[in-house]
Structure formats: structure tokens, C-alpha cells
Structure 1
């Protein structure tokens, strides 16, 4: 079969046009996903233990690993993920958010206190989806919820429920509750009261540990504690366990081994409920921890894990929808189709009525994972994970229009 010069030119031009069309199609399919992590640092007292001093890259390191994990999948889907990070003081938070929004970034993970998270969500409005990666405030999941605000951090109610479930399972229902004097401590104490009522435990006595502002990290600190804490805790009603509500980190670490009665300590010290602990090894967590440590040169903290979760929520939603539109990603995340592996024994999902991520809570003594809640025997008509935190009838959130499957 012979081919003329004219037909050869036509074939060449046709092949060139086909290649250009294929290139254009591939270019059209390529996605760029731009996310941000905004950390708002407040000035507070140093933690009691030097082991708890926050690293400079707290949370940022987790966001970096999450973006790297997203990019691994993105290589196969022609998707590029980038992460902008900002660390600012509270007075600069709104300006930092405006800058990110001005750059066209519509997916922003925020590490800040509850009031700041609420303010930033209002500021963003329909321009962005805000992922709360730190604030535990229950009202953000209830009356103060916002339609553009999703929560990857567990709430105080979830943490309290997880611990009290374990205490009831252990048949230690009589609780001596000691709480601090700061607003966050009072809110946490209320979460423990609610959890006790919910699961049939009993708070037999409460005491307030007033923060007098004295030095906590002195050479004679252990001497003073050894004298003061036993006196403070003596003559308490008969109890099985001491539960500390000390979100401000004023006194709780001093309680173990110093209480008047020989009882276990839980809550803000002793056995603590957390989203993550660097001691966790089950369900592939060891390999996950090692990847984080190799990348950042230190162990993973709960704040890092929550920032990692925020980025992975974005990555999973983008992969499943093929979109980088924040509104579409939010709708998918809230649907029954979304689930994400999180190294805690089961897939995590979101509650469509208030945007809270359902997730197991680890109970740790900082050396190992003692247990994981929800505990066996605590049942729910939808998911055992909904036994932790505000269930649908308990939440006062009305901002969410639930997404149908």
C-alpha cells in the first residue's frame, strides 16, 4: 500500500492534533489542592513538666506529614497538594486568615482556642471550609456551630465520655472530682459530670484547686507538693478513683502518689483520654509513628495527629470526588460515603448534624495505650462511636443541612 506525500502530511497533522488533544485533556484533569494550617499561639504559663514543653513545629509537623501522604496518592491521580503554614498571635489571627483567603486558599485547618476558631469561621463564611484541629469546646459542636466548620479534634464531651466509660467498665463508678479554677477547667468538669450521669457513675465529692499563681517549677516544688496535696485530698468521701479536670495544667500531674487515700488518678493526669499518644503501636501505628519521627526528629503529639487528620480528610475527599472545590469537599465529607483510616482500629467518619469527626479515643498512661474507647458493651443504634460526645438529640446545632447518601 503506497502513501502519497499529501496523505503523509495529513496523517502527521492528525497525529499531532491527537497528541495536543491528549495533552490538553491531561492538563484539564490535573488538580492543584491548596490548603493552609493556621496556628494561633496564646501566651500562657509553662507546663509543669519540662517533658511537656511544646516544640516549635507543634501541629505544623503533622500537617506536613499529612500533605506528604496526600501527595503520595496525588502522583497517581495527577493531583498536586501544597500547604501554607502560619503561626501568629491572637491579635493577628484574622489578618492571617484574610491573607490566606486572598490567595484563593479555601481549605484552612486552624489550631486555636474555641473563641478564635468561632471568630475565624465567621470571618471565612462561604469562602472557606475551616477544620478545627485543636479546640475541644462543646458549644462549637452545639449552639455555636457553623456550617463551614468541621472538627477533627475531639470535644471535651468525647474525652470525658471515653474515660468514664472505662471507669464504669472497670467497676470504679465512685468518682472524686478535683477541678481547677480557670474557665477551661470548669468546662471540663462539667463534661465529667455529664458523662457520669450518662453512664451511671457517681461523683461522690468535688473540690476546687484554686490557681494562686505561685511558682510551680522550683527546686523545692516536690517538697511542698508532698505536704500540700495529701492535706488537700484528705477526708474525701469514699471513692474508687480521683478524676482531675485541669486543662490549664496547674495541679493534676502532682496528684498521682500524693493523694491521701491510695486511689488511681485519671483525667488530666494518670490515665488520660487523648486523640493520640506516641506510645500507641496497634493497627499499623508503629510504622506511622516512625515515618513522623523520621520526618520531624521527635515523637508525634496529639496536636500533630489532629493536624495530620485535617490534611488527610482533605486528601481523601479530593481523591474520591476528583474536585478541589471546598463546598463540594465539605458535602462529601459529611456524607455516608466518606471514611478514613486513622490507625485506631476502625475508619473515622463525620457526624452530619454538627461536623464532628467520629473517632476512637485512646486511654494512655504515657507509656502505653491502656485501653481504647468506646468500651465493649456500650451500644448505639447508629455507631458505637456515637456513644462518645454529643449525640444527635443532645446537640443544639442547627446550622447543618444533613447530606443525604
Structure 2
């Protein structure tokens, strides 16, 4: 530290100040250079997805991976000024590949993992007997149980839970005074879980489900929607049709065919999502453009969650000057952590469940309709905690 710099003229004092700044930067960079790089493992399982009636919105094969790569590029662009760097190692598992064998191969001093994995794989990875500390960031699975009864101390989530998505939708519907819902549930496991989340949200915010049906048709709705959907949606008068069809099997064919002329929301029509190509506010366009340049396609929610996971680790490394998995996790769950994520406010993690708090855009295919949490929904900590599972819903995921 330079204690004094005696120069008689203002110009000399300015030069002295600059010199002092260079000395400080040299000391900081030298200290950071002791261990500048951190290894981040990206693990993805390739899933054989069942066919659906509409192929217009097929999931890209590289979803998540490109988001992680962009996150690393962004972090390293900033980290070069402080001599910090993330090295990304990519592991793509096919259906027949063993996750346990991969975990044995990469079991090292301290592990940081971005997990684009189905629930069973994620739980297997979390329960693996790691030699040392491990932090796993889930970027694809929205299952509420991963944030409650199946939660793990070493697993964080940058993808919103289904409870967060359903709550964000319910708040908007209540604000519009669309309190009577006609709920239609698909036959896939994800559909059933999202429908359950919607029922919980209706109870939480005071909506009434006046119709609740399962979609059992297996016919091609491209030809039959006009004749099949109106009688299927006949019943007590409702304000809105709420659909749970995550795979896109039938939901698009409900629009303009319901018995009453009502809006369709949920997984089709207007839907809640972590990220979408139509999100442009708060500087999001620059992220969209950089991703599109890299991927040659738009950014989706899984891409965004992977980018956000890497960006969060980058904040811990650069701002927090953390290196080990244990120190990074402690920093991510602390009050000191904030990450800017093009959603109009800094994002943080919930320490009791590992879920990242974040606003949820409500969109249709062409534009953003709104952003939840909605005005007037209050919480003792932050209005972001009106979305999803609060501390009273979590059984064993750590302290508040």
C-alpha cells in the first residue's frame, strides 16, 4: 500500500494517483493469478422424446449446451481483466450411457456441474459418493419435488419450478378478474404435474376451477378440432381455458374452438416461461442477438437457464473471488450474491430450496403480455417469493 505521495503540483498528484491505481491493480491481478481458472462440467442426457401431433415447435437438439457456451464466453470476457477463467468440459450422454461411470471418471477435488438431466439422473448425480464438495445446478427439470421432498443441499435450480410458472399465470388471471377456470390436462407426466401445480395455484390465490377434464383424444386434431373441441369444453360458464400440455400434443388446437369464446392460457395461447425469443426489455435484445449469432436459432428457456447458471458461477468467481465448490455455493446462497439477468432486477437464490428467484414473462408466440409477480401481490421478504414454493412448503432443504 502507498501511504503518501508528495508532489507539489496538481498534475503531479494526478500522475501519482494513476500510479497508485496501477500498483493496486497489479497486486489484485497477481493475487487472482494464483489459481485463475475454474473447471465447470456440463452434463446432458439425450432424451428420446415421443412424437406429437404438431412439429412446429420442436425442441432443438442442442438446447442448454449453447446457453452454457455463451455463458462461459461472457464470463471469460469479463474475467480476463481480473485473470479469472472458466473452463467448460462437455459430457453428452446417450440413453444407453451410464451416468455413474461418468461420475466416477470426473470425481475430483471439487466439482461444479451444470446438469441438463432428467429427474432420475439428477437425483443419482446428487446422491453419488463424491470425494469432496460438489455443486450441481439444474437447468431443465421443473419438478416441484426437487425443491421440496426430494431436494438436496448440493443442488441449485436456475430453471423455474412448475409452481413458479403456475403462480405467475394465476396472479395475472386474478388481476384480470378471470377467476373461473376450465382446466384441461394432457396425458404425459409433465402435463399431470403442471395441472397439479395449477390446482394448487388456484387454491393459493382464490381462483375457482369450474371444469376439470383430461384430454383422452388420440385423433389428429388438425382435421377434427372444429367438431371435437366445442362439445369437449361445454359446461359451466368460465372466464378462461387453462391447459396443461407441455409436449404440445393438442393445446394449440383449443384456440378459437372452445364452447364459450374465451382466451386459452397455460402451456398454449398465453403461457409462463423462463425465457422466450420475444423477451426484449431490460437489454434482453443484446443477449438474444449474441445467442442467435452463436446458435443460429432463438434462445429458449433451457438455454437461458444454462446461461444463467454459468453467469451465477462467474459472479461467485469474479466478484466473490471464490474457487472451490463449497465456497461458491456459500456465496451463491448468501446475501452478497446478485446476478444481472436481463429481467429488470438482480436475481438471487432461495437458501431453503436452492431455487433461483426470478420474474416470469407471460408471453404468446409474438409478444410479451406481462411479467409476474404482478402488482399488489406482496411478501414479507420479496414479492418474487410469491411465485413458487415458500419455506412452509419445503421439508428438508436447509435453513431459511
TM-score of the pair, normalised by structure 2: 0.88
Q: Is the 8 A contact 1:101 1:127 kept in 2?
A: no
Whether contact under 8 Å (1:66, 1:311) holds in the other structure is yes
- State the distance in 2 between where 1:91 and 1:121 align: 20
The Cα of 1:28 is off from its aligned counterpart by 4.9
Cα gap change, 1:97/1:254 in structure 2, threshold over 3 Å: closer, same or farther?
Answer: farther
1:138 equivalenced with 2:144 (yes/no): yes
User: How far off its partner does 1:208 sit?
Assistant: 0.6
User: Does structure 1 conserve the Cα–Cα contact (< 8 Å) formed by 2:148 and 2:397?
Assistant: no
1:356 corresponds to:
355
Q: Paired residue for 2:86?
A: 81
Instruction: Decide whether aligned partners of structure 1 residues 134 and 143 sit closer, same or farther in structure 2, where only a CA change above 3 A counts.
Output: same
* Partner of residue 58 from structure 2, selected from 23, 48, 53: 53
1:194 and 2:193 matched: no
User: Is the 8 Å Cα contact of residues 40 and 93 (structure 1) preserved in structure 2?
Assistant: no
Write the deviation string for residues 145-178 of structure 1: whole angstroms up to 9, x where unpaired.
Answer: 0000001110010000000000000110100000
Please give the secondary structure, in 1, of the residue aligned with 2:362. strand
Matches within 5 A, 1:31-180: 31-95=36-100, 97-98=102-103, 101-102=106-107, 106-123=111-128, 125=130, 126-180=132-186
Distance across 2 between alignment mates of 1:318 and 1:211:
51
Deviation track 1:312-363 (CA, whole Å, cap 9, x = no partner) reads 1110111122122001100110011111111011111000111110000010
Q: Give 1:181's aligned residue.
A: 187
Alpha-carbon offset, residue 90 of structure 1: 4.2
Structure 2 segments unaligned to the other structure (5+ residues)? 1-25
Question: Does the aligned pair in 1 maintain the 2:100–2:125 contact within 8 Å?
Answer: no
Structure-2 residue corresponding to 1:325: 324
Residue aligning to 1:267: 266
Q: What CA distance in whole angstroms lies between the structure 1 residues aligned with 2:268 and 2:31?
A: 54
Hey, what does 2:366 align to over in structure 1? 367
Aligned to 1:336: 335
Counterpart of 2:304 in structure 1 is 305
SS, match of residue 92 in structure 1: coil
8 A contact 2:32–2:84 mirrored in 1: no
Task: Tell me if structure 1 keeps the 8 A contact 2:276–2:299.
Answer: yes
Distance 1:127 1:224, change over 3 A: same
Contact 2:103–2:125 (CA<8 Å) still a contact in 1?
no
Secondary structure of the corresponding residue to residue 248 of structure 2: coil
- Contact preservation (8 Å) 2:76, 2:85: yes
- For 2:394 and 2:386, locate their aligned partners in 1 and report how far apart those are by CA, in whole Å: 13
CA positional deviation for 1:193: 0.7
Query: CA deviation digits over 1:14-34, x for unaligned, max 9?
Result: xxxxxxx99x95685341111
Unaligned 5+ segments in structure 1 are: 1-20
Give the SS at the match of 2:213: strand
Corresponding residue number in structure 1 for 2:284:
285
> Hey, what's the Cα distance between the residues in 2 that align with 1:96 and 1:337?
37
More helix by share: 1
Alignment deviations for residues 5-53 of structure 1 (CA, whole Å, 9 cap, x no partner): xxxxxxxxxxxxxxxx99x956853411111221112212234433312
Change (3 A) 1:248 1:296: closer
Please state how far the C-alpha of 1:133 moved relative to its aligned partner. 0.2
Partner of 2:15: none
What CA distance in whole angstroms lies between the structure 2 residues aligned with 1:287 and 1:96? 39
For 1:318 and 1:386, how far apart are their aligned partners in 2?
26
How many angstroms apart in 2 are the aligned matches of 1:343 and 1:47? 33
Cα distance in structure 2, aligned partners of 1:353 and 1:280? 29
Conserved 8 A contact 1:88-1:96: no
Deviation at 1:63, TM superposition (A): 0.5
Q: Structure 1 pair 286/272, CA: closer, same or farther in 2 (3 Å)?
A: same
CA contact (8 A) 1:188 1:245 kept: yes
CA RMSD of aligned residues (A): 2.2
**Cα distance in 2, alignment partners of residues 60 and 354 from structure 1:** 25
**Structure 1 residue ranges, 4+ long, deviating more than 3 angstroms after superposition:** 24-28, 46-49, 102-105, 124-127
TM-score of the two chains, using structure 1 as the length reference: 0.87
- For the residue of structure 1 that corresponds to 2:97, the secondary structure is helix
